[in-house]
Structures are given as C-alpha cells and as structure tokens.
C-alpha cells in the first residue's frame, strides 16, 4: 500500500493547481463565459506569492497578496469584457499576454533577472503535520505534509456544488448562463452576476498560482503555469461545468502528469512525459464529444413488412 | 365619472421610438378593472411594444402610465410586479434545467439561515399556488420535460404568483393546439371570475371575439379604435387592423394537377436520438404550378419538413423526389442546382448573413448561373454590380445599395433580398416557410404576389405557414401537420377554418374532402 | 457614399487610437523608470532604420508576423478561433529542417522546395487537425489549439535534443542544414531573408482570394453565419477544414522560411511568441489583409526596437510584451458591439 500513498501524494500536489483552475473556469462557464484568463491570473498570483513572501519573509502575507493580485487581474478582465464589451476570448488572451509580459517586465526591472525570481530562502506555508494522520490507512500518509491549499482545493469541490445548487446566488448564476432572458425577466442583474463569476474565478486562480509557487518550488519562473490554466479549462469543459465531474477530470489530468514522471524511470524522454497532461486533456475532450455525437444520432427506423 | 374610478390601468399619450422607427405614437388606453381587454393588430402594429411598456420591460419615451389613478414609473419588470402587473411572454422565460418551483421563485427565494435556498419552502409555496388555480403541474418537474402548454401554465403562474391584479398575455395561443387553446380560454374566464384583469394580445380575430369584453385595435403604432366586443364583427376588426379592404390575391393560371408531381416527399421519417419521430411517414406531392399550403401549430414537424426537403436535415427513411429524380442523398448544393429553392422561416437565422453586403447575400450561389465569375474563380466586378443594381430595382428593395450590410435593411426589404435570390434561379420547386413573419401589410402583399407569380410560371410551391389566413389566401390544396404526420390534405375550395382547425388538433378528416 | 467612406475611415483609425493610447502609457512607464526616456522611445521606434543590418532584422521579424497574421485572418474569417499558430510554426520549422537534413544531396532548387513543402505540409496538417475536430465533433477550437501548441513545442524540443541534435553546438539546436536548402537573402541586404518578400506578396493575394473570389465569399459566409452558408449550399465543413489547413500551412511556411533563411538550422525557442503576436496584429488590422501589412510592420518595428532600447537605456524589452497585453485587452472594446469579422 505504500506505493499507493506514494502515488497519491505527488498527485495531490500536481493536481491541485489544475483542480483550482478548473473550478474557477467552471464557475465562469456557468455564466456562459469561456475563461481563458485563468492562466494569466494564476501566473500573476505565483509571482506575487514569491515576491511578497521573499520581501516580508511571511508566507501567509505572500499568500494573501497572491490572492488579491489574482482577483485584481480578474477585476480588470471582467471590467474590460463585461462593462466595456470586449470579446471574452480576445480579452482573456490579452490578459494572459499582460500577465506574462508584466511579470517578465517586473523580473527584469525590479529583480534584474529575466530568468526568474529565486530567493535563497523562503518561508514555509502551513502543512498537515507529519505523523498526525498515520492512523488513516493509505490516505493518511499521502496527506501528511500537504500544503493547506491542497486541503482547500479538495473541499472546494463539494463547496462549489453547494454554492451552485443550494444558494440563491448559485441559482442566479445558473439562470444567467442557461437562459439570460429568463434571468432578466426575474430581475437578475446579468452583468453583476457575470462579474461575480469572474471574480470567483480570480480567487480560484489565485489559489492555484499560490499553490504552484509556494508548495514545493519556492521560486518563480516566467511562464511557470505552463498551460495548467488551460488544462483546467479543458477539465471544466469535459466535466460539463458540473463540480464533481470537473474535479474528477482535473484529477485525472494531473494524475497523467505524475504517471508521466514515473515513466521517466523507464527512460522515456522527458518531453513525452511532459506532454502527457495536454494529450490526456485533448483526448478526453475528443472522447467526450465523440460520445455526445454517437448518443445524439437519430434512432434508425425499423423496416417492418407492410 | 364612476367609470374613471374603476380604471385599473390608464395609458396617456404613450410613445416609443426604436432608432428612427416610431413603434408607438401617442397611444391612449383605458382598461376597466375586472375586464378582459383584447389588443388586436397586425404584425408590427406595436402591440408587444405597448405591453412591454406596461410590464416594465421597456420605458416609454413620452406619456404616462396610471394604475388605479396613480402615475407609476417602472424601472424593471420586478417593479411592475410589485405594482401588480404580471406578463406572460410569447417566448417563455424559463430556465430549462430548473424545476417548476425553482423557476417560480427565481431571484426571490425563501432562505435557510439567510445563505441557503430553502427548497422545501419553495416546493410548498409552488404547490399551494398550483392548487389554488387548479393547474395540474408537478412542482418538481424539470421545465425541459414539460410540454409547451404546461410551460405556458408555469409562465402564467409566475405572473399570478405575485398577486398580479393585471395579467398580460402576449399572443398566448400561437404555440397551442386547439384543445390547449380552449383550456387557456377557460382559465382566463376563471381568472376573470376571481377578479383579475386581463390584457390579451392577439391577431386572431376568432379568439378575440370569443374572449373579449373590449377590443382595442392598433395599426402602425397608433390606436385606431376601442369598442366593446359585443356587436362587433370580425370584418369590422379586420378593417380597423388593415385600414382598407383587403383584395384577396388571385391566381391567373390554375395549377396542372394530374401531371407527374414536381416535388414529392414519400414516407419521410425523421427521428431524434431517443426515437421520437419528428416526421412520421410524411408524404406529400406537389404538381406543376401548384401551391400546397401546410398548416399546423408551430412545432409539429413543419420546420423539419422544410429542412428535409431542402437537404439541411437528414431523414432516416423515405425519399424526396424532384421532377421524378430521387434527390434524397443529394447535398443542399446539388438540390439547388437541380432547381430547388428555399426561403427559410427565419431570414436572419438562415436566410441572410447580416454583416455581409446586399451584393454578397444576393449573389450567394448565383455566381455561376449568372456568369458573375471569371477565370480562376475571380469575381467580375462590373457584372456583379450590374446584376445587383438591376435586381434591387426590380424588387423595389428600399434603402439598399450593393455594398450595404444587409442587416441594416428593414425586415421587409431583407425578405425581398432572400426572395430575389431564391427566385432568380427560376426554380422548378420552391420551399417557403413563414414568408411574411414580421412584415407589414405592404411587404406582405408584395411577397404574396411573388409567390403567386412563381406558381403562375409553373413552380411547384411547398408553403408552410402558421398564419391560417395566409394559407387560405395562397394555397390550391391545404395539408395539415400534427405531431410529424400529415393528417389530411384538402382542396382549398372545400376547406373551412373549422375543418382545418380540427385537423390541426389531430382529428382526421374523412377521405373525399 | 460619403457615409461609407467616413465610417471606413473611422474603423481604420480605431486601431490607430488604440496603438497611440498604449504607446502613451508605455512612454509614461519609461519616464518613470529610465534616465533617458526620449532615447528609449527613439530607439524603440526608429532604431530599425539606423543601419542596413538593423533593417534586415526588422524584415526578418516582419516575415513570420505577416504569414501568421494572414493565416489567422483566414481562419477567423471562416469562424474558427485559431490560437494554434505557435505550434504550427514550430512544426513547420522542424519539418523543413528535418527534410533538409535528410536529403542533403539534392540539387539546390529541389532541396529547397522539398524543405519548404515539408514545412508547409507539417503546419497544414497541424492546422487541419483542430479544424476537423471542430467540424466533425464540435471540439472547442480554442482549447484544442492551446493544447496542441504545448504538444508541438514539446515534440520539437524532443526532436532537436535527440535525433536532430547538433553534437558540437551548445543549446537546443539542430545540425546546420546543408547549403543546398538555404533560402536566399535579399540582394543588398545581408541577413534579410527573401521569405519576407514572399510574405509581403501574399498579403494582396489573400485579400484577393477573400474578397474577390467565390471561394472567399463562401468562406466569409461560413464565418459570419454558418447556418446561412449551409442554406445556400456551401459545404461549410470542408471549407473550414481547408481554411484551417491553409492557415496552418502559412504558419508552417513561416517556420520553414525561418529555419531555412535565418540561422539555417532549427533552434528551440526561436520564436518570441510569434504566434500570439501574429494573432494580435491580425486582430489589430480588423482581420483585413492589407491593413495587416501596416500592423505587422509596426509590431516588427517595436519588437526589434525594444532590443536596441534595452541595450541603450536599460529599459527592459519585455515592456513591449506588457504593452501588447494592454493592447489586446483593449482591442475589442467597442461602444457598439460589432462583430470581429467586418470588412
């Protein structure tokens, strides 16, 4: 059973940013927004986490500022697309370019190192204490020393379900995404709902970026997110924007990344290993659409003798 | 006058413009408490705009609204609901994945601990409302699974549920079968007995006469008349709606029945993934120069019929023949090249690309036929210009220049472009659906003229329309569709609105008609 | 008449305003961080013309931006949001390199042609894939092309660090390709690849195809209203796939030109996000092939100029990246929502 928890532990670490991004994309999906900007928001959060964490030597402060930074980017994105009427996808791509360019600019201007921000020492975030869970078989050891953000991510799945299906705000959001005219007729403020969805996705993206930078790595590299935001978006599409399927898909894609690492032991070239999550996500999406196409095929007409 | 005090709703001098077009001009309206007041008018007369203003969806540019004598200004529909005005829309505003109860309580949910939705309370409240009006709905049923008539009842409940004293119904019978219509009219009488006031929009004169206490007629954004319905004949109402005597269009050349049909559908069946039959062994045949009108309530397979004929939708069994040739497996383009034209039911959805120019929409698949293309596929600019300008003139398309985006034309002129394109090919068969939807009188007359002229020239025409008057005005024979089946085909000469209406609700007429 | 001229002028000036606004923001930033802001901006905008070699580098940057931009215009006009140019570019470059390395003994014109064709084909296939997925299965093309980008870049990284690797050079580069496959330079402009001339010539050709042929009209119909295109008999599915293949092929051609004409080998990370910048200039040009000449030139200008700016004044070149982000963010803001695909 050791190998199970040995597989589960890194999977939790690798999956968490993807899961968080997926949940953020899912919430905006419910408001009928294809949110490609989670990638950029997470990147900004990662940068802020390291920058503030290093400057103040306080992990929680770094964490808090990372979340705020991501929400600020989300606000910008929401403002430009919802209030000013920009196309969501173009604005999302623009936000990603801004995030990448902006962080690189700050790296060069403030830290004089376009290669990345690598502090010599970095404060630790809160983790599940070692040895506290060894009464729980398999899962216990896997959860020990996991960052608290991992725990947040896991709880976020049922919490999102609760939010979407059991709160008035969740109902309103779903109405906006499914039938805008029904929402308007019921007096729901569509633009406000969409903005709320975007801000929530900023919160999730911020958590994703913070986890990515602060859990094991403790440094920031340009393009650090490497498409995890997009993989999360794919998971949300694959899961039809429903919390549990989305969470499962994100977990699956993350697991592919870890499985790929194991494959490296068999001396497969590292590039193919790294390809695994993207391939998995793409193939999953293709499979889902293929299933839908097959299911949607019209039923054949029986040829009875006249 | 004591009558003034009984006025639940009074509109004074209400005007509304959309851009340059005046949708409403100085309209007055007085609605007594407890009456059923019907608003009649042709498409585009302003009925929906007026009701949207009363219901708080639109704001008037000029004029006043008074409820029980007090002026009101509604900023949104919720405001209006607070003042007791509820509207049942023609296009339902319901969230498909949510239940009846959830839709009734959307945005005004009872809460647990102020944060969570209290679903039990919603269900109980919905049940109470359903029982109060004896509607027979399951509060937990998902909207997506309800029939059209049931969904309409949910809409009505939504409007009533907030103690609406004034209930507005916008063309409610457009999507109902005749028995559902009868049920609805009964509900309205019940509501009247319960003390509600009803504003009912329709352009169907028979219904208006049945249900109304008072009938107001709008025409071109102005109020033409308001009279008690007793003693008013349908002809009187029609005269007010139209403003002049309608000359029924007429055929110069009768169709040649007995020849081999030009367009025929034989045993055509179209199914959904779950096996539901959208078209069920449908068979129709149309002769040279004949107009076959297909009547029926929207949603009984008419759209599928036209798309199957045009090649835009696949059928699961049966055959489609054009001039004797089996075209069932042919693509849309191949059918068009073989002489089939299609005027789709929604010009902005399928008929045109609003952002492309008049020229590009008009020439769409006429390039080769009209020799507008040179070597290498290059367009011949001068030839295109000449053709487009000539066509604009011939069809009298107002406001059109070749490089204007076609979406900037008015509805009637856009329809002319579609018709021009489809007719320019001199088709041997034409499938046309809802040709005058949203058009004013002048445009309607023009379109009817074009259809008749095409038939005179020998074109076999399959005409689908939800306007029975249009079917009766143009058709040589009338077919009725119900649940994907052709339940009867009758000669125009012997058809009556009653017999067709019966067939529209599924009754089968005896053979020999 | 006057109305359409004025509205055409207004719609052409829109991007000019956006660019001007962003340049002003940039100048404010430069003012804040640099001791010589004027020199910084002078370099940014004009350094390209200071010498023939600077100008050659500018032309070299222009080529991929133009080709990718034209590809984006074609795919967007067909209604496909193709963000996969980066992957198509890389695959084109590596395919051209591989072909040249595999067939060193071919005479000059044939070797070159074979390599170019390989590059175009690789890019074309990689563009066709997401197009086919969208048409046949309804797979969202934004997500599809984004995933494919990452896959392509990893694939080329593998190829250039294993089979195509140059054993003596440092870094992820391929072996130098035989000179039989080298693409000629522009005469009198050493260092500038003649691929740029091809790119510039293609712009009016693509314009012609889009706006003056029946095929182009059908393409734009499919992109502006797919149901309308179907109704008038256009085989929209096939058209979209062909458009995506051409779009990918153009990006692949850019990659092939780059590998064969500049550097004469494949280098991982040779592209400073040409894919995204190509998308930017295409959108900035409101998807108009002739306007693209101006926007791509402008961008090649400042991308190049940024390098000189950094050398002379310490202003980081990533300023351009930051400003690009702002530009794209604001680019589709309209008081009245009009479609991306206008004339």
Q: What is the pLDDT of residues B194-253, one digit of tens each?
A: 888 999 888 777 788 888 999 999 887 888 888 898 888 877 777 777 665 555 566 767
How many CB atoms within 10 Å of residue B2? 5
Q: CA-to-CA distance for B213 and B7, rounded, in angstroms?
A: 14
Please tell me the total count of domains within chain C: 1
Q: Which of B106, B111, B275 sits opposite A186 (nearest CB)?
A: B106
By CB atoms closer than 10 A (0-12, 13-18, 19+), residue B486 is buried
In a domain, C229, yes or no: yes
User: Is C198 inside any structural domain?
Assistant: yes
Alpha carbons C312 and B452: distance in angstroms, whole number: 78
Question: What is the C-alpha to C-alpha distance for residues C215 and C221, in angstroms, rounded to an integer?
Answer: 10
Residue C227 lies in a domain: yes
B474 within 8 A of B452, measured Cβ to Cβ: yes
**CB spacing of B350 vs C220 below 8 angstroms:** no
Q: How far is C8 from chain B (nearest CA, A)?
A: 12
How far does the CA of residue A183 sit from the closest CA of chain B (Å)? 8
Task: Look up the pTM and report it.
Answer: 0.85
Alpha carbon distance B256, B310 (integer Å): 23
Instruction: Tell me which DSSP letter residue C183 carries.
Output: P
**Interface residues from chain B to A (CB-CB < 8 Å):** 57, 76-78, 89, 91-98, 102-103, 106-109, 111, 115-117, 119, 269-275, 314, 316-317
Q: pLDDT of A40-81, one tens digit each?
A: 999 999 999 999 999 999 999 999 999 999 999 999 999 999
C-alpha A255 chain-centroid distance:
15
Does the distance separating the beta carbons of C276 and A97 come in below 8 Å?
yes
Task: Tell me whether strands B197-202 and B36-40 are parallel, antiparallel or unpaired.
Answer: parallel
Whether A275 and C276 lie within 8 Å, measured CB to CB: no
B377 touches chain C (CB under 8 A): yes
User: How distant is the Cα of A174 from the closest Cα of chain B, in angstroms?
Assistant: 9
A264 Cβ under 8 Å from any chain B Cβ = no
Which residue ranges make up each domain of chain B?
2-84+164-242, 99-162, 263-352+426-504
- Phi and psi torsions of B240, nearest 5°: -65, -40
d(CA C136, CA B374): 33
**B480-511 pLDDT, tens per residue?**
998 889 988 999 888 887 788 778 776 655 44
**Percent of chain A at pLDDT above 90?**
61
Residue B2 has pLDDT above 50, yes or no: no
Q: To probe the interface with C, which of A33, A76, A109, A116 has the most C CB atoms within 10 Å?
A: A109
Pairing of strands B85-88, B166-170: parallel
Task: Report the C-alpha gap between C127 and A1 in whole angstroms.
Answer: 45
Residue C321 pLDDT exceeds 80? yes
B350 touches chain C (CB under 8 A): yes
Answer whether residue B1 shows pLDDT above 50: no
Model confidence at C12: pLDDT above 70: no
- The β-bridge relationship of strands B166-170 and B197-202 is parallel
Give the pLDDT confidence of C298-319 residue by residue, as tens digits. 999 888 888 888 888 888 888 9
Q: Is the pLDDT of residue A198 over 90?
A: yes
What pLDDT shows up at residue A304? 52
Interchain CB distance below 8 Å, B332 and C227: no
Q: How many CA within 13 A on the CB side of residue A100?
A: 23
Give C277 to chain A, closest Cα distance, Å.
9
A188·B102 Cβ contact <8 A: no
Band of the pLDDT at C4, cuts 50, 70, 90? low
Whether the CA torsion A152, A155, A161, A167 is positive or negative: it is negative
Full residue range of the structural domain in which residue C187 is found: 62-300
Dihedral sign for Cα atoms in the order C329, C330, C334, C339: negative
Q: State residue B393's pLDDT score.
A: 92
Q: Tell me if chain C has a CB within 8 Å of the CB of A275.
A: yes
- Whole-number pLDDT of residue B368: 85
CA atoms of B366 and B372, how far apart (whole Å): 8
Cβ-defined contact of C229 to B353 (cutoff 8 Å): yes
Give pLDDT tens digits for B58-101.
Answer: 889 999 999 888 898 888 888 888 888 988 887 888 999 999 99
b/e per residue B326-353 (b: at least 16 CB within 10 A): ebbebebeebbeebbbbbbbebbebbbb
CATH topology for B2-84+164-242? Answer: Rossmann fold (3.40.50)
Q: What is the pLDDT of residues B18-56, one digit of tens each?
A: 876 778 888 999 998 889 999 988 766 788 889 889 988
CATH class as words, domain B263-352+426-504: alpha beta
CB burial of B169-187 (b: ≥16 within 10 Å; e: otherwise) equals: bbbbbbbbbbebbeebbeb
Terminal C-alpha separation, chain A = 64
Mean pLDDT calculated for residue range A134-151: 82
Give the phi and the psi of residue C68 in degrees, each rounded to 5: -65, -40
Q: In terms of C-beta density within 10 A (0-12 exposed, 13-18 middle, 19 or more buried), how is residue C47 classed?
A: buried
Higher pLDDT, residue B389 or B440: B389
Comparing B310 with B506, the larger pLDDT belongs to B310
At B356, the pLDDT band (50, 70, 90 cuts) reads: very high
Residue B512: pLDDT band (50, 70, 90) is: very low
Q: Which residues contact A183 (CB under 8 A, 6 or more apart)?
A: A172, A175, A176, A190, A193, B95, B106, B107
For residues A15 and A138, which has the higher predicted lDDT (pLDDT)? A15
| Residue B268 at interface with chain C, using a CB cutoff of 8 Å | no
In order, the DSSP letters of C36-94 are -HHHHHHHHHHGGGSSHHHHHHHHHHHHHHHHHHHHHHHHHHTT-----HHHHHHHHHH
Chain segment A226-253, per-residue pLDDT in tens: 999 999 999 999 998 999 999 999 999 9
Which tokens belong to B490? Answer: 């009758």
Q: Compute the nearest-CA separation of C340 from chain A (Å).
A: 9
**Beta carbons of C221 and B355 less than 8 Å apart:** no
Nearest to B332 among C4, C224, C233 (CB): C233
Which A positions 94-153 lie with beta carbon below 8 A of chain C? Answer: 94-102, 104-105, 107-109, 114
% chain A with pLDDT above 70: 95
Q: Does A304 touch chain B (CB under 8 A)?
A: no
ipTM for the complex shown: 0.86
Q: Chain C residue with minimal CA distance to A228?
A: C147
Chain B contact probe: residue of C225, C226, C235, C287 with most B CBs at under 10 A: C225
| Average pLDDT value for chain A | 89
Q: Does residue B19 sit at the C interface (CB-CB below 8 Å)?
A: no
């Amino acid at each position: 059973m050791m190998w199970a928890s040995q597989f589960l532990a890194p999977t939790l670490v690798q999956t968490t940013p993807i899961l968080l991004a997926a949940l953020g994309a899912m919430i905006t999906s419910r408001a009928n927004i294809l949110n490609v900007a989670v990638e950029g928001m997470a990147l900004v959060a990662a940068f802020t986490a390291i920058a503030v964490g290093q400057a103040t030597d306080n992990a929680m402060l770094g964490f808090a500022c990372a979340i705020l930074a991501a929400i600020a980017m989300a606000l910008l994105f929401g403002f430009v697309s919802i209030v000013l009427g920009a196309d969501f996808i173009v604005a999302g791509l623009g936000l990603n370019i801004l995030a990448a360019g902006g962080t690189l600019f700050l790296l060069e201007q403030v830290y004089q190192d376009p290669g990345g921000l690598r502090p010599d020492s970095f404060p630790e975030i809160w983790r599940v204490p070692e040895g506290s869970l060894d009464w729980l078989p398999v899962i216990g050891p896997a959860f020990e020393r996991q960052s608290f953000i991992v725990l947040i991510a896991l709880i976020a799945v049922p919490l999102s379900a609760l939010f979407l299906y059991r709160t008035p705000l969740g109902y309103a959001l779903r109405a906006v995404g499914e039938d805008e005219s029904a929402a308007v007729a019921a007096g729901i403020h569509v633009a406000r709902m969409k903005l709320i969805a975007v801000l929530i996705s900023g919160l999730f993206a911020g958590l994703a970026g913070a986890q990515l930078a602060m859990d094991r790595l403790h440094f920031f590299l340009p393009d650090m997110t490497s498409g995890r935001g997009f993989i999360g978006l794919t998971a949300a599409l694959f899961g039809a924007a429903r919390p549990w399927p989305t969470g499962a898909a994100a977990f699956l894609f993350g697991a592919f990344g870890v499985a790929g690492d194991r494959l490296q032991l068999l001396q497969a070239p590292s590039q193919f290993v790294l390809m695994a999550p993207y391939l998995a996500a793409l193939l999953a999406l293709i499979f889902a659409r293929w299933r839908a196409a097959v299911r949607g095929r019209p039923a054949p007409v029986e040829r009875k003798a006249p | 006058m004591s009558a003034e005090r009984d006025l639940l709703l009074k509109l004074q001098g209400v005007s509304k413009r959309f851009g340059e077009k005046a949708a409403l001009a100085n309209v007055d309206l007085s609605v007594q408490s407890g009456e059923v007041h019907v608003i009649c008018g042709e498409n585009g007369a302003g009925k929906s705009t007026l009701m949207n203003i009363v219901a708080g969806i639109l704001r008037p540019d000029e004029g006043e609204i008074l409820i029980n004598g007090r002026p009101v200004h509604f900023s949104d529909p919720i405001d209006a609901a607070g003042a007791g005005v509820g509207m049942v829309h023609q296009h339902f505003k319901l969230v498909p994945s949510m239940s009846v109860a959830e839709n009734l309580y959307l945005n005004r949910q009872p809460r647990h601990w102020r944060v969570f939705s209290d679903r039990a309370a919603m269900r109980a409240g919905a049940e109470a409302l359903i029982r109060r009006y004896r509607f027979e709905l399951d509060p937990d049923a998902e909207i997506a699974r309800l029939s059209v008539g049931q969904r309409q009842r949910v809409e009505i409940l939504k409007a009533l549920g907030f103690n609406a004293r004034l209930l507005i119904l916008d063309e409610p019978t457009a999507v109902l079968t005749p028995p559902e219509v009868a049920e609805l009219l009964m509900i309205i009488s019940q509501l009247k007995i319960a003390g509600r006031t009803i504003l009912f929009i329709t352009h169907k004169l028979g219904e208006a006469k049945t249900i109304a206490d008072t009938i107001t007629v709008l025409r071109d954004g102005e109020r033409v008349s308001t009279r008690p319905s007793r003693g008013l004949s349908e002809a009187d109402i029609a005269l007010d709606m139209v403003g002049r005597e309608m000359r029924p269009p007429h055929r110069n050349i009768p169709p040649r029945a007995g020849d081999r049909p030009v367009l025929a559908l034989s045993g055509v069946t179209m199914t959904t993934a779950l096996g539901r039959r959208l078209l069920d062994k449908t068979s129709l045949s149309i002769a040279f120069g004949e107009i076959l009108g297909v009547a029926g309530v929207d949603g009984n397979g008419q759209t599928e019929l036209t798309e199957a004929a045009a090649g835009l939708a696949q059928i699961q069994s049966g055959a489609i023949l054009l001039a004797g040739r089996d075209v069932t497996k042919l693509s849309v383009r191949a059918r068009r090249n073989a002489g089939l034209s299609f005027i789709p039911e929604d010009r902005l959805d399928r008929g045109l690309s609003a952002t492309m120019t008049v020229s590009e929409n008009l020439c769409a698949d006429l390039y080769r036929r009209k020799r507008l293309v040179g070597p290498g596929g290059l367009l011949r600019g001068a030839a295109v210009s000449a053709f487009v300008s000539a066509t604009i003139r011939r069809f009298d398309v107002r406001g059109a220049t070749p490089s204007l985006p076609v979406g900037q034309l008015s509805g009637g002129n856009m329809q002319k472009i579609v018709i021009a394109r489809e007719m320019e090919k001199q088709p041997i068969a034409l499938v046309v659906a809802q040709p005058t939807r949203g058009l004013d009188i002048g445009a309607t007359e023009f379109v009817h003229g074009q259809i008749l002229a095409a038939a005179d020239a020998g074109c076999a025409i399959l005409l689908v329309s939800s306007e029975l008057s249009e079917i009766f005005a143009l058709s040589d024979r009338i077919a009725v569709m119900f649940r994907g089946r052709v339940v009867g085909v009758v000669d125009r000469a012997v058809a009556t609105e009653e017999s067709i209406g019966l067939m529209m609700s599924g009754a089968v007429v005896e053979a020999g008609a | 008449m006057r109305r359409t001229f004025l509205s055409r002028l207004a719609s052409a000036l829109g991007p000019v305003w956006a660019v001007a606004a962003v340049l002003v923001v940039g100048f404010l930033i430069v003012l804040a961080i640099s001791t010589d802001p004027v020199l910084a901006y002078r370099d940014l905008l004009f350094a390209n013309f200071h010498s023939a070699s600077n100008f050659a580098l500018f032309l070299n940057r222009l080529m991929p931006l133009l080709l990718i931009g034209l590809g984006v215009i074609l795919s967007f006009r067909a209604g496909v949001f193709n963000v996969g140019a980066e992957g198509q570019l890389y695959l084109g470059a590596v395919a051209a390199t591989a072909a040249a390395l595999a067939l060193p003994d071919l005479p000059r014109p044939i070797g070159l042609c074979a390599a170019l064709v390989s590059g175009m084909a690789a890019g074309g296939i990689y563009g066709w894939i997401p197009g086919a997925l969208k048409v046949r299965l309804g797979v969202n093309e934004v997500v599809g092309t984004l995933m494919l980008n990452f896959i392509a870049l990893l694939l080329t990284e593998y190829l250039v660090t294993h089979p195509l690797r140059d054993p003596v050079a440092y870094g992820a580069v391929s072996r130098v390709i035989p000179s039989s496959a080298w693409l000629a330079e522009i005469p009198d402009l050493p260092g500038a690849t003649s691929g740029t001339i091809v790119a510039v010539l293609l712009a009016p050709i693509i314009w012609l195809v889009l706006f003056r042929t029946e095929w182009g009209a059908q393409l734009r119909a499919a992109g502006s209203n797919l149901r309308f295109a179907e109704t008038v008999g256009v085989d929209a599915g096939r058209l979209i796939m062909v458009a995506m293949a051409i779009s990918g092929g153009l990006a692949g051609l850019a990659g092939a030109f780059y590998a064969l004409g500049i550097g004469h080998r494949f280098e991982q990370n040779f592209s400073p996000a040409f894919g995204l910048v190509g998308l930017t200039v295409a959108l900035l040009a409101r998807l108009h092939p002739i306007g693209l000449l101006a926007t791509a030139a402008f961008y090649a200008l400042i991308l190049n100029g940024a390098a000189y700016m950094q050398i002379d004044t310490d202003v980081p070149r990533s300023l351009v990246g930051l400003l690009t982000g702002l530009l794209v963010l604001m680019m589709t803001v309209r008081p009245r929502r009009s479609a991306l695909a206008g004339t």
